[in-house]
Structure 1
């Protein structure tokens, strides 16, 4: 009986000893982990090296605990004073704060209870040996941090077995915690699923590695089919509400087929937003063709260039552009068909076909099968050579852009806004951005894929827009800064019209924080004002997360298909978190290049496929992108309540065509309603040249949104650097 009581006492003492040590480690881990996490949050340099420290410490943990376990088999006098206490402390710290950062508060709340348990165990441990066996003495060696029992060799062997067992347990515990922590760290660098890790609330942890940041959004596979297959399938499923949309599109395809249109041919759509857009672009895709977007503001100079560059065979336009297209077609042998959307009963010019006649043809029975790498869209964007560049998108890149947007709203936006899941895509949506723009075209196809009720506004009219919002009661608005500026001008007067709106999503240019905050003060129903980031070449690379209510001035986080990094433009070395540099992105929706301009494509992509956006930005401690400047001198012009990009080199090229002008520099200066004004700095070669002459030179050649609106200033010389590049910042800084 005495032997049993003795073995029982040893077992209880050992258990109490290890339990006490474990709880002490928890308490210590609480304190040290809290200090560490506060330090990491406040010191950006430490944050960048935190992942390396964790990985190194994990290796040390396993090595120390393995040695500690092996030394349990060595006679006591030869065993070095190794303890696994610190290994467990570090492991617990990483496990909790890397894998379960939200458990920090709960851990802090349990600390008083852990102290109380430790106290009870200490009291019990002091009195238990005397009660069970007065001949059993226990002493503590502070130098080696170990308990010793003096009784018999059998007891010491028993204790040794206990130590070995506990050591193996500690090794297993730490290895498991380290493995999970290490896996999480790899996920931060490689791929993170918000379904698995709860990405939205744990974004700050994902900044362990700054060289490259993957999207924290829900991962989605690359679509296998084309957008048109998906849209036509959706339209057929929605046959009650859309009885003839698919049939009309296939009828237009029948018309194109009768004109000899075949796979690989191109249709230029030079028309404003209208309900005909889906019919026209779906009909073109049905025959394997591609759509070329052209601004209705283009004049003969722009139009001839784009038609020749794209080799378009069919043009669809409106009364506004008809004469320009007829004249341009004379210089473009590839154009053999002009379709006209009539807005009056005026007689059609010879050779021009009424759109209404094109949709009376028999629908094609089977759409042309194409690969995902077939070109389906060309959008012209300004370029460094002074000429617009045709940005090429395939069915793969476009479908990925559409699917990323749809999936993001499904997984990251609608669940936060709430409501019944089956009603998420039944809200009315309003498209105000031109469908010739990558963003507007993406939105249109997202709403076609999801069968969302959509209102397409021909052009922005403030009064009409408010009436549409009030009538259809959308929960979210997709706007540009000029439209938001209009809404913010009279927040009290339009409060009733925006009563249904919960979120405003703004793109094209950064939105001022002060203006956003002032707007929200008068619209308590608007819970979120968020922004995105993108360009024609990549559609939208960054999308918002609704982590907290209010106005967010950031450009969001990388979408599901994208990864990003910030580099120093001079050294090309990745920047640390919080440091400014050029924004680089890489993802499935990005363009395959520029039409007929392979050299321009080489300057867009690096050898690893990263797209150099030309924008300067930084990543904050939560993983959000902030755009602060532009490397490229793109001017953001407010044209008809939409932000249009204008490159100075194109205007400079048009102006320098005049023999009366020796040199010129174009810069953007701050304007009103969220846009910039275009200012020309000119060096005369003819002293009789006037400001109006310069403005007329541009107005005669270029689209209206490229005209000089910020005045003309005459100089003796344009400031340039040693390489001959214009010092635009110097001109802009001296703007009065």
Structure 2
């Protein structure tokens, strides 16, 4: 059970940091840089409110289903470039899928799902690393009017069961290497009727030797179905029907299903597609239909998913890494002469410090966008020195609940400390945390976003939805920041409890609940501490109920029950008590 009327140690730290940031001293360095650069900005800061609309032209509002839009794009690209690969396996360039093949295979998967009576309102989960089969499964589900909920391929069976149970998924697509834990997870998830196993990591012969349970079918069986390439489009309500159901901890608490509609998902794709055209600002010769992108971000994550779908809509060629490997990443960037990277801060650390980088020619790289977690200015400068061809490294900003990005950098306008400018069709306000009213430009407050990319809500969690989206439609991000007089947004702190480990969300509440299930633990608080490689890592403050309890025992207890990024890499500290304050007052 979560404590209702008290706040643990992490809230003292969170509140202390917020009140410090609210003082002139804590904020003076960043605010003064704006004032010093333009003396006239002083008056603007004092008179204008942080309530703005995007400066960019509006993009068309999505009115068609995702399936209609993506299938039209696949068909068009397959006719224009019949042999153009849509996606290539970075580990094996002979493992690829063309646009025509992806079009047909998506219809084939849809036909198999139809035989299972999978349709509108149904949900399929994926437990797959980055691979073209993930995208084919997603498109196939969308053709049937269903939804996809991607799970972390590294989840253990307990974590998978939580997502399967909460989403009530009826179909699971999983890799061969994940099959055993998926089967175990499904023992507690009666909604799952069929498991489709994709041979990716084990030798085909080894998978063939396994006797599959009755509810498990091989992916080759799915692909033997007869596709209906003339299938009539299913009617969907684009602003109500859920297309994507990623799981996010939101601003607090355990992971929740984020209901992203056809409209919200497509609006962000259209928006990103428009914004990406500005890439010609730094490379006039680059175009989608001859260029390549390297995808290291997991497709189940909204960032990785969004840029991969944008690639397909645009006719690009994506190179997929199943998991990050320094040599494979650098070789991909070198061999395909990729000129821009869509990365996260831990990869910037790799580029700045790893000796592996020196073995490869990365001189084609000219621009890097980083997101999912903040990147420091010093780190950005280190990467630029290491790879001199990179003229700009900028940060973007967004959240799963907003269908990916709300802010992106502008090519040719380098502002490393900002998280970018507000994207098309969106509104933003920086609001007073207590009143919800917009604060003057240059003052800190909670970042709030409103627009057609906002989620429908959290699955079966109306109270959590109401705490995140107010009655006026503002999505409250839980991030503290400010807007300067030139339209740049800056993030300076977080109200939310989430710990960001290599860009992945870790909810302290989830780890606290797990630790409290240990008989030797009386009370606990989990906080995030700074880490040079991961950004943040979880640390537990534990009150013993058993005097013989050891640090190693606590570490092992957590390690055996969670994914690697949730482990207590920040350590364990034993304390006499967890300080507590009233829920509403500091």
After TM superposition, the score normalised by the length of structure 1 is 0.68
Query: Which of the pair is proportionally richer in strand?
Result: 2
Select 1:656's aligned residue among 513, 516, 532.
516
Residue aligning to 1:504? 368
* Candidates 670, 675, 693, aligned match of 2:535: 675
**Alignment of structure 1 residues 458-537 onto 2, 5 Å:** 458-490=322-354, 494=358, 497-537=361-401
Q: Report which stretch shifted further, 391-400 or 538-547.
A: 538-547
Residue aligning to 1:453? 317
Task: Indicate the residue corresponding to 1:578 in structure 2.
Answer: 442
Q: Decide which of 494, 499, 503 is 1:630's aligned counterpart.
A: 494
Q: Aligned residue for 1:280?
A: 137
Q: Which residue of 2 aligns with 1:715?
A: 575
Q: CA separation of 1:305/1:491 partners in 2, compared to 1, >3 Å: closer, same or farther? A: closer
- Once the two structures are TM-superposed, the CA of residue 348 in structure 1 deviates from its matched residue by 3.8
SS at the partner of 1:243?
Answer: helix
Cα distance in 1 between the residues matched to 2:421 and 2:386: 28
What's the CA shift string for 1:571-628, capped at 9, x where partnerless? Answer: 3332222211111111111111000111000000111111110111111232111111
Instruction: Mark the CA change 1:453 to 1:385 in structure 2 (over 3 Å): closer, same or farther.
Output: closer
Number of residue pairs aligned between Structure 1 and Structure 2: 523
Q: Which residue in the other structure is 1:402 paired with?
A: 269
Pick aligned residue for 2:213 from 344, 350, 357: 350
Higher alpha-carbon Rg = 1
State the Cα distance separating 1:425 from its structure 2 match.
Answer: 4.7
Which residue number corresponds to residue 16 of structure 2?
Answer: none
Cα separation, 1, equivalents of 2:367 and 2:40: 33
Q: 1:225 is paired with a residue of what secondary structure?
A: coil
Q: In structure 1, which of residues 594, 609, 618 is the aligned counterpart of residue 482 of structure 2?
A: 618
2:543 aligned with 1:546, yes or no? no
Give the drift of 1:544: 0.7
Q: 2:428 aligns with which of 564, 572, 585?
A: 564
Give the structure, 1 or 2, with the largest relative contact order (CA under 8 Å, sep 6 or more). Answer: 2
2:249 maps to which of 382, 388, 391: 382
Rounded to whole Å, the distance in 2 between the matches of 1:40 and 1:679 is 40
Cα pair distance change 1:562/1:319, threshold 3 Å: same
1:339 counterpart SS class: strand
Kindly state the Cα deviation for residue 702 of structure 1 after the two structures are TM-superposed.
Answer: 2.4
Which whole-Å CA distance do the structure 1 matches of 2:407 and 2:433 have between them? 21
SS at match of 2:297: coil
For residues 276 and 41 of structure 1, do their structure 2 counterparts lie closer, same or farther at Cα, with a shift above 3 Å needed? same
Which deviates more from structure 2 when the two are superposed, residues 39-48 or residues 526-535? Answer: 39-48
CA 1:308 to 1:376, structure 2 compared with 1: closer, same or farther past 3 Å?
Answer: same
Moved more, 471-480 or 518-527: 518-527
* Structure 2 residue 446 is matched with structure 1 residue 607: no
Trace 1:287-436 onto structure 2 (pairs within 5 A): 287-342=144-199, 343-344=202-203, 345-346=205-206, 347-351=210-214, 352-364=216-228, 365-366=230-231, 367-372=233-238, 373-383=240-250, 386-410=253-277, 413-420=278-285, 423-436=287-300
2:31 aligned residue: none
CA RMSD of aligned residues (A): 2.1
Is the contact made by 1:510 and 1:553 (CA closer than 8 Å) also made in structure 2?
no
Q: CA shift at 1:454, angstroms?
A: 1.0
Q: Give ranges in structure 1 of 5+ residues lacking alignment.
A: 1-37, 51-208, 728-736
SS at match of 2:276: helix
Instruction: Report if aligned partners of 1:384, 1:647 keep a CA contact under 8 Å in 2.
Output: no
1:217 aligned residue (33, 56, 64): 56
User: Which moved further from structure 2: 517-526 or 354-363?
Assistant: 517-526
SS in 1 for 2:329: helix
Alpha-carbon distance in structure 2 between the residues aligned to 1:529 and 1:652: 37
Please state how far the C-alpha of 1:445 moved relative to its aligned partner: 0.6
Distance 2:526 2:407 in 1: 29
- Residues 1:233 and 1:452: Cα distance change in structure 2 (over 3 Å): same
Change (3 A) 1:384 1:44: closer
More deviation, 429-438/368-377: 368-377
Shift in Å, 1:561: 2.1
Q: TM-score of the superposition, structure 2-length normalised? A: 0.85
SS across alignment from 1:537:
helix
Give the gaps of 5 or more residues in structure 2. Answer: 1-34, 84-98
User: How many angstroms apart in 2 are the aligned matches of 1:401 and 1:414?
Assistant: 17
Q: Hey, what's the Cα distance between the residues in 2 that align with 1:39 and 1:328?
A: 58
**1:713–1:49 CA distance, 2 compared to 1 (3 A):** closer
Preserved contact between residue 41 and residue 47 of structure 1 (Cα < 8 Å): no
